[in-house]
Amino acid sequence: MGKRVLLIEDEPNIIEAISFILSRDGWTVHTHEDGSTAMDKIVAMPPDMIILDVMLPGRSGFDILRDLRAHAQTKEIPVMMLTARGQDKDRELAERLGVNHFMTKPFSNTEVRDYVRSFMEA
């Protein structure tokens, strides 16, 4: 069975691009757009990796990451965060909360695919 990636993002163009590049590379990509229900989605069917936007409707990606790391069932899931705000304080907060990788928008599809590949094939 292939690896599953959960993309938590609310921007349709980014959802389409990342879903396409990862699906073409052999991964099953599930998507979710609402921060307030993201943890329910994750706990119901834990993915092998999460790609998490910082700015989401309902709850921020930082809040979701904090919950992920505090939950026994999800604390070890690799998380790559995406943000349009590339400030050092955002990166530092994400690292303190336990992110595995932090990527600033705009990014190349190849960069996302290569990083997911490095996680999934390790």
Give residue 39's pLDDT: 97
Could you report the per-residue pLDDT of 14-25, keeping only the tens digit for each?
999 999 999 999
Return the bridge partners of 32, or none.
Answer: 8
Could you report the per-residue pLDDT of 66-121, keeping only the tens digit for each?
999 999 999 999 999 999 877 889 999 999 999 999 999 888 999 999 999 988 77
Give residue 15's pLDDT: 96
Give residue 84's pLDDT: 85
Say if CB 101 and CB 115 are below 8 A apart. yes
Give residue 87's pLDDT: 84
Alpha helices in the chain (DSSP H): 12-24, 38-44, 61-70, 88-97, 109-120
Give the integer Cα–Cα distance in Å for 45 and 62.
20
Tell if the pTM clears 0.75, that is, is over it.
yes
Q: Domains of the chain (ranges plus CATH)?
A: 4-120 (3.40.50.2300)
Q: Is the model's pLDDT at 13 over the cut of 80?
A: yes
